[in-house]
Chain A
Amino acid sequence: MTLTYDIVGGDFTRAGHPSSEVKKVLKQLGIDARTIKSIVIALYEAEVNVVAHAYRGKATIMIDDTKITMLLEDEGPGIPDINLAMQEGYSTASKEVRDMGFGAGMGLPNIKKNTDELLIESEVGKGTTVKMVNFFK
């Protein structure tokens, strides 16, 4: 099963829509609560990253019997140094974004904590692709 969502850069008011939809589906599938929580947190953080940094993006969620694969592709400035971005507290978010309570530099580390597989590819000036996989118990 595949679900797709468009993400608009800069629109924090709508952040969280894909993760709550995905949550509904996973609950109906009877996936255990802890796994769902991790997935929702990771997806939400990844989505907020797109909203905070990119111009626009797309989330593609694929669910099968054993796992969920979440692909977030955005058009944006890209990440120059992914290793640096993975460090807790590191953030390039603008002051406005931080004032809204986002962009504390916990995004990527938090995603890493909550996913089984994480792959980030980025090209400066073009955009970033984040692929996350979580396996069901």
Chain B
Amino acid sequence: MSGLPKYHALKIDEAKCIGCTHCMKSCPTEAIRVINGKAVIDHERCVDCGYCHRSCPTNAFYIEQDDIQKIRNFKYRVVLFPSVMIGQFPEKISENQIYSSLLKIGFTHVFEIEQPIKLLINSIKEYLAAQDTPKPVISTFCPSVVRLIQNRYPALTENLLLRKAPHDLAAHYAIERLKKEGAGEDEIGLFYVTPCSAKIASVKSPVGEKESIVDGVINMNELYNRVMKIIEEGGPEEDTSSQRENLTRDGVLWSLTRGEACHFGSRSMAVDGMHNVIRFLERLEDDQVHGIDFLEMRACDQSCAGGILLTGNRFMTVERLERRAKRYPAAQSINKNQIRVDTAVLQKKLIIERINPKPVYIFGSDRTRAMDKMNKVQRIICFLPGIDCGACGAPNCHALAEDMVNGKAKMSDCVFLQQMWEDEGKIQTGKAYRNLEKKWGIDRFKADCNKRGRRNEGF
């Protein structure tokens, strides 16, 4: 099952990119190279984790989104947003203010996506209980983690949970409810507010799905600004509690670390932060983890509270959400009458097809040739200095060696080798200098006191 073509919302603004290597060094999948003085993302390797976005000192990364005016095309305009969004707002701002502002922006229905979360909890429990389910089950909540596993841990794809994430649940739920109110399916526009680039990718080209159910994606920081503006201007504060009647404590906490894991299996674990996830997957792949039933894995430190499109401090967001959660009932206390739609229909929609591996790090399918390339890498490595400086445009010496055997780089890209060759008279100084200019851009090495990327920038 391949689903839609892979979509990436994360883009680089060439005009802002200064080619400084920060993003390239921070990318956990070695997906970035600097070519002609600009960062370039390899979309096969990229898992949309956003680490590059965070590390960029000039804000050159941006995340494509849909025009909010698109909502005007629909009679029923539904905004779907994860609970974590509420956690960013200062405490003095009430839920009613936030909801009222969203209505003022032009939405007709406001839905926090983690409702009715009970249906998802039950569906995952059922999946875990099935005899043939390979353990540990790895959550498919964070799309970055799913892509990482497809790309780099192909054998672990069979452990991926075959259930949807809350945004799908909410989308189907919203449709069913509005249809009950008499809306035609074409009249309903669903707009998802995303905390990160990964969720956009999964909404626009869902893994294990044939088409996207959402009509548009809005970045959370953009909506935060709009809502804040309305509130600051003394916007409305109506009673909107009826829109939250299926919201629960467990729903509010779902996108935080342990929000999922706490519900499942007799032994479960939660791992957050991309580097922790990678280290753990390595162990899992080596068969060094035993007896765990359920694994929650999230790319961001503090899970979605640390999403790249959130505003404010992730730890404060977590604290506010934990306090908010206390005001809501437990997930299981929500009953059928409250849900108001046929839950069997929703339950069916929560199931996804098997997720296939897509290994991207292999040296081609012909083993003899792959072996050949591997040998070459080993030999090239002997000549590279092992400084891992990034001045070649690759994140480290080993990555450069691999690029070379894949025909994407040459020996002279290594500035130290070039220097040595100059010393040995194997290359002319002028030629060596032009090679550098080619890599990093003409005028790059001229004196410039306003140069970006000076000390303390980006911190």
On A, residues with C-beta under 8 Å from B are: 1, 16, 19-20, 23, 25, 27-31, 33-34, 36-37, 40-41, 44, 63-65, 136
- The answer, among B155, B285, B359, for a CB contact under 8 Å with A30, is B359
Distance in angstroms from B401 CB to nearest chain A CB is 12
B313 interface residue per 8 A CB criterion: no
- The answer, among A1, A19, A20, for a CB contact under 8 Å with B371, is A1
Q: B367 to A65, Cβ gap below 8 A?
A: yes
State which residues 335-379 of B face A: CB under 8 Å: 359, 361-365, 367-368, 370-371, 374-375, 378
9 A-B pairs with C-beta separation under 8 A: A1-B371, A1-B375, A25-B374, A28-B362, A30-B359, A30-B362, A30-B365, A30-B367, A65-B371
Q: B359 to A29, Cβ gap below 8 A?
A: no
On B, residues with C-beta under 8 Å from A are: 154-155, 282, 285-288, 359, 361-365, 367-368, 370-371, 374-375, 378
Q: B286 to A29, Cβ gap below 8 A?
A: no
Distance in angstroms from B2 CB to nearest chain A CB is 20
Distance in angstroms from A62 CB to nearest chain B CB is 12
Q: Give chain B residues whose Cβ lies under 8 Å from the Cβ of A37.
A: 155, 285-287
Distance in angstroms from B22 CB to nearest chain A CB is 25
Chain A interface, DSSP helix/strand/loop, else mixed: helix
What is the CA–CA distance of A30 and B359 in the complex, to the nearest angstrom? 9
Q: A19 to B363, Cβ gap below 8 A?
A: no
Q: Give chain B residues whose Cβ lies under 8 Å from the Cβ of A44.
A: 286, 288
Q: A30 to B370, Cβ gap below 8 A?
A: yes
Closest chain B residue, CB of each to CB of A114? B287
- The answer, among A1, A16, A30, for a CB contact under 8 Å with B364, is A30
Distance in angstroms from A132 CB to nearest chain B CB is 16
Q: Give chain A residues whose Cβ lies under 8 Å from the Cβ of B361.
A: 27-28
Q: Give chain B residues whose Cβ lies under 8 Å from the Cβ of A19.
A: 286
Closest chain A residue, CB of each to CB of B366? A30
Distance in angstroms from B281 CB to nearest chain A CB is 12
Q: Give chain B residues whose Cβ lies under 8 Å from the Cβ of A36.
A: 155
Interface centre among B364, B371, B378 (most CB of A within 10 A): B371
Q: A23 to B286, Cβ gap below 8 A?
A: yes
Q: Give chain A residues whose Cβ lies under 8 Å from the Cβ of B362.
A: 27-30
What is the CA–CA distance of A29 and B374 in the complex, to the nearest angstrom? 8
Q: Give chain A residues whose Cβ lies under 8 Å from the Cβ of B371.
A: 1, 29, 63-65
Distance in angstroms from A115 CB to nearest chain B CB is 15
What is the CA–CA distance of A23 and B368 in the complex, to the nearest angstrom? 18
What is the CA–CA distance of A83 and B287 in the complex, to the nearest angstrom? 26
Q: Give chain B residues whose Cβ lies under 8 Å from the Cβ of A136.
A: 367
